[in-house]
Structure 1
C-alpha cells in the first residue's frame, strides 16, 4: 500500500472524521436549500430587490463583524461546544422560518429578524468549524482530512442547489405569497439537517484535553488574537499578503465575472456555467490536495507560485471570445484555489496552538469577508472608466506582481509547512 493510500485508509478509520464528515455534509447540503428558498420568499412577499438586498446584508454583515468574537469564544469554550450551540440556534431559527412560511404567517419584519439571527449563528459556526479538525484528527492526517472535508463542501455547493430545485419543482412552487409551502419545506429540510448534524457532532471526541484560553473580556481576547498573529512573523506576513490578494481578486469574481457573462458571452446561463466550471475546478484542486499534499516545495514558495500562475490566468480572461475559453481559464483557476485553500487551512491548523486557533481562523476569514465588499465596490467604480479586458489584465498583473514582490522582498518563500505547534495525537 502506497503512502497516500495508507493515509486515506487511516483517515477513514478515524471515527471522529466519519462523524464530522457525515454531519457536516448533511448540514452543508441543507444550507443550500435555505440559500435558494430565502431569496424567493422575500421576492414572493415584496417583489422588491431592495428588500432582498436588506435580507442578504442582515445575514452577511453580522457574520463578518462578529466572526472575530466567535473565534474568541471558540478558544475559551472549545470548538465542539460553540459549534453545538450554533447548530441548535440555527435549527430553532429555521424551524420558526419553516413554520411561518408553511402557515402563511411570514412577514417581511419577521424574515428580517430571522435572517439576522441566522447570520449571527454563522458568525460562531464558521470559526468553530475551521478550528475543529486540528483538535479531533491526528496531525499526520490533517492535510488529507482538510482536503476531503473541503472537497465535500464544494460538492455540496454543486449538488445542494440541484436538490433544492428538485424539491421546489416536485412540491409545485407557485407565484403568490399564499403558495409559499414549497419554500417552507426547503427551510424544514435545512432545519432537519442541523438537528441530524448536531446528533453526529455529539459523537465526536477531542483527541486530548486541549488547553483553553484564559477567562478574559471577549474584546481583550480578540485583541490577544490579533497580537498573536502580529508577533508571529510568518503569520503576519501571510495574513497581510492574503489581505492584498483578497482585495485584488475578490471584486473580479463578484462583480466583473457577471458582467463578462452578460456583455461578452451574452447570456445569463453562461454565468452559471462559468461558476460551475470554477466550482468543479475547486473541487478537483481539493481532491488533489488530499491525495498529493506535498509538491516538493516549501509552503510559502508553493503559495506564491500558485498565486503568480493564477494572475497569469486572470490576464486573458477579460479578452475571451467564446464560452469554452472562459471555462478552461476558470477551471484552472479553481484547481489552484482549491489546492491552495486546503494547504492554507492545514498550515494554520498546525502552526497555531489550540487555545488560539479559533481566533487565528476567524481573523483569516475576516480578511476575506471584510475585504470582499470593499473589493467589489472598488471594482464597480473602476469599471466605469476601464473595459473588462483592461480590468482583468491589470488585476492579473497585479496579483502576479504581488507574488513576485513577496518572493523577492519578504521571507514568505522560505515558510515551511511544519508548524511551531505540534498537535496532539490519539492516545
Structure 2
C-alpha cells in the first residue's frame, strides 16, 4: 500500500503512466489494421507471412543495437526520437489509406519504417522505469504499468473493431477501408500526445560520462556475453527465443487467417485480441492478489504455464464461432498475464542499471524479434495445411519444449527477484 501511495504522488510515474497508456491504446489499432490491410491488398497468407517477416527481420537485428544505443544516450532521448518518427510514418500511412491510394509497396516501406523505429523504442521503453522511479518502487511500478497496458489490449481492439464496423475494413475493396485509415490516424495522434507527456519526465540520474564513450558494437558484445556467461539467463533466453520463433510466428499468421476465413473480418480479429488482453489483465490482477505464490518456484511455474498454453492452442484450429476463440484466448491471456510482471522484474533487478538497455533489448529481441523471422515459414505452411494442423502443431511444440526445458535445462531453478536495488548480478541468475 505504501508503494502504491508513493507512486501516485510521483510525477515521473504519473507522466510515464499516462503517456504509456495513451500510446499503447493507439498501438492496438495499428496491430490489427496493418496485417488486415496487407491481407486485403493481397488475399494471400504467404504474402502476409512475408510481410511480417520483412518487418521483423530488421527489427530483430537492430533491437540488439537499440539496447546499446539506449545505454549510451539514455532511454528518454531515444524514446522521444522514435515517437516523432512513428508520428510522421503513421500520418503518411493514414493519408494513403483514406485517400484510397494505398498499394502494397508503400505500405510495406512504411511498415518497415515502423518496425525499425520499434527496434529502438522497445528497449528504450522497457528501460525507462528504473531511470524514473525509485528502486524500491520498481516492482509496484511494473505491475501498474503492465496492468494498464493490458487494459489497453482489451479496450483498444474493441474500439478498433467498432471503428472497422462503422468505417469499413476493406473487405469490399479499398474504397471501403476508411476504418483502417482512421485507425492509423488514431495511433498517429497517440504518439504525438505521448511524446509530450514523455517530455515532462525527469530521469533520476544523469547519463554517466564513461558509458557514452563505449562503442556500440562493443556494448552489444558485452551484453550478449553477459547473458551467455549466466547459465540461467542463457537457458531462459534460448528457451523463450525458440518458443517465440515457432509458436509466435504461427499465431501472427494464423489468427488473421482464422478471422478472415471462418469468422467475420477485422472486427472478429479485434474481438479475439481483446479477449486475450482481458485475460492478461485478469492474470496480472490475480498475480497482484496472490503475490509470489508459485508452483515450487518461478521457473517451474513458467514451464507449467507454457504447458497449459500449449494444451489450449490444440483446439484453436477447430474454432468456427467467435466466442469459442475468445474463450480460449481469454484463458491463454490469464496464464500469460500471471507471470509477466515477475519475469520483467526478475530481469530488471538482476542486472546493473548501466546494462539494462542492452539486457532489455536482448529480452525483447527474444520475445518480439524472433517471432517474425518464422512468419514467412508459417505463411508458407498455412498455404499447405489446414488451420487445425497449424494451431495443433504450435500447441504440441510448446508442450514438448516446456517438458524438455524442465528435464534438461536450468529453467526449473529460476526464482523470483527480491524487491530493492541490486548493484550487480544476483547469484540467482549465475
> TM-score range with shorter-chain normalisation?
0.7 to 0.9
Q: Are the aligned partners of 1:298 and 1:416 in contact in 2 as well (CA < 8 Å)?
A: yes
State which drifts further: 61-70 or 96-105: 96-105
Check if 1:399 corresponds to 2:395. no
Check if 1:13 corresponds to 2:13. no
Distance 1:337 1:370 in 2: 18
State which drifts further: 349-358 or 402-411: 402-411
Q: Are the aligned partners of 1:143 and 1:293 in contact in 2 as well (CA < 8 Å)?
A: no
Picking from 124, 135, 139, the partner of 1:128 is 124
Q: Which runs of 5+ in 1 are unaligned?
A: none
- Look up the SS of the partner of 2:304 in the other structure: helix
State which drifts further: 48-57 or 400-409: 48-57
Q: Are the aligned partners of 1:293 and 1:343 in contact in 2 as well (CA < 8 Å)?
A: no
TM-score of the superposition, structure 1-length normalised? 0.79
Picking from 184, 192, 196, the partner of 2:193 is 196
* RMSD between aligned residues: 4.1
- Look up the SS of the partner of 2:370 in the other structure: helix
Distance 1:316 1:416 in 2: 32
Distance 1:418 1:210 in 2: 25
* Structure 1 partner of 2:304: 305
What CA deviation, in whole Å up to 9, does each residue of 1:315-368 have, x standing for no partner? 555567987665444322211112222221111111121221111111122223
- Look up the SS of the partner of 1:349 in the other structure: helix
- Look up the SS of the partner of 2:211 in the other structure: coil
Picking from 130, 146, 155, the partner of 2:142 is 146
Q: Are the aligned partners of 1:148 and 1:286 in contact in 2 as well (CA < 8 Å)?
A: no
Distance 1:383 1:182 in 2: 27
Distance 1:423 1:287 in 2: 26
* Structure 2 partner of 1:64: 60
Mark the structure with the bigger radius of gyration.
Answer: 1
- Look up the SS of the partner of 1:213 in the other structure: helix
Q: Are the aligned partners of 2:155 and 2:274 in contact in 1 as well (CA < 8 Å)?
A: no
Is the alpha carbon distance of 1:272 and 1:237 closer, same or farther for their aligned partners in structure 2, counting shifts above 3 Å? same
TM-score of the superposition, structure 2-length normalised? 0.79
Is the alpha carbon distance of 1:314 and 1:186 closer, same or farther for their aligned partners in structure 2, counting shifts above 3 Å? closer
Q: How many residues align?
A: 416
Q: Are the aligned partners of 1:148 and 1:287 in contact in 2 as well (CA < 8 Å)?
A: no
Q: CA deviation at 1:81?
A: 1.1
Is the alpha carbon distance of 1:49 and 1:208 closer, same or farther for their aligned partners in structure 2, counting shifts above 3 Å? same
Q: Are the aligned partners of 2:52 and 2:375 in contact in 1 as well (CA < 8 Å)?
A: no
Q: Which runs of 5+ in 2 are unaligned?
A: 424-430
